[in-house]
């Protein structure tokens, strides 16, 4: 039996990963804070267990690993995270601290623990869910969120190179979508300024690219083009363009 773990499984991209992996015959562990959502999703799947926890608390990450450390993990989707929008001097510090704890600290802890196990087993695939925000130099009006996702993309690309040089069979990659039609914008207090993609399309592209061992996965032609231009244009132009887009989320 193939085994997969998905964090942030109660909605959006995480929920869609659960549905797709269930269809592909994986035994699943669904991880999130909202018990009612997890229970409802479990009823719709063939072989799934739930684990209710708040991964922004570091000790809970270690407790999760204790549950799965003796399993042969085929896929681990490091998806839990959220964003926020607004002027840096006006956004809520406590919310930002929780964002850093979840988007960075929890992801880092779980990535470290799970990858060490996978390397010993010489088996497994780990996907960090980042954002196209992590491939851009900065994001005015979503400054903290962009910074957290830059951490994720940088960490993922570095570790992927290490594994390649070690000739490991373990895969690690990061999913970097643009706007996706999920509950993200409600939590982040934004409205998308660009046309979004569906969670179904996002996950479909992710799974296809994972099989091809693509390290940085960017679903959607519009975002791929934007990221490409960001690489060749002066940084100050890119940041100014991002700022204009983010302002639309606040003021329109």
Q: Which two tokens stand for residue 107?
A: 């992801």
Catalytic residue among 3, 26, 51, 145: 145
* Residue 117 CB contacts under 8 Å (≥ 6 apart), including other chains: 69, 73, 124
Name, in order, each residue with C-beta under 8 angstroms of 202's C-beta and a sequence gap of 6 or more. Answer: 13, 16, 175, 177, 180, 219
Determine whether 3 is an active site residue: no
Torsion sign over Cα 30, 79, 114, 65: negative
3-class secondary structure, 120: helix
Residue 159 parent element (H or E): helix 143-165
Q: CB within 8 A of 197, min separation 6: which ones?
A: 177, 178, 179, 180, 181, 219, 220
Contacts of 93 (CB under 8 A, 6+ apart): none
Block residue for tokens 């773990």: 5
Rg (CA), the chain: 17
Known catalytic residues? 145
């Amino acid at each position: 039996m193939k085994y997969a773990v998905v964090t942030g499984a109660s909605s959006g991209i995480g929920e869609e990963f659960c549905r797709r992996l269930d269809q592909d015959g994986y035994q699943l562990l669904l991880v999130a804070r909202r018990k009612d959502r997890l229970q409802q999703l479990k009823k719709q799947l063939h072989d799934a267990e739930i684990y209710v926890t708040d991964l922004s608390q570091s000790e809970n990450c270690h407790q999760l690993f204790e549950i799965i450390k003796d399993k042969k993990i085929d896929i681990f989707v490091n998806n839990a995270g959220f964003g926020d929008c607004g002027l840096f001097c006006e956004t809520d510090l406590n919310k930002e601290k929780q964002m850093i704890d979840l988007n960075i600290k929890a992801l880092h802890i779980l990535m470290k623990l799970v990858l060490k196990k996978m390397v010993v087993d010489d088996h497994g695939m780990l996907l960090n869910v980042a954002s196209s925000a992590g491939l851009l130099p900065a994001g005015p009006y979503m400054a903290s969120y962009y910074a957290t996702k830059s951490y994720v993309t940088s960490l993922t690309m570095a570790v992927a190179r290490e594994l390649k040089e070690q000739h490991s069979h373990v895969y690690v990659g990061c999913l970097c979508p643009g706007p996706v039609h999920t509950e993200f914008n409600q939590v982040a207090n934004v409205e998308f300024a660009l046309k979004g993609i569906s969670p179904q399309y996002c996950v479909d592209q992710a799974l296809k690219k994972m099989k091809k061992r693509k390290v940085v996965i960017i679903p959607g032609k519009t975002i791929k083009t934007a990221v490409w231009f960001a690489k060749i244009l002066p940084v100050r132009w890119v940041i100014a363009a991002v700022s204009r887009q983010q302002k639309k989320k606040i003021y329109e």
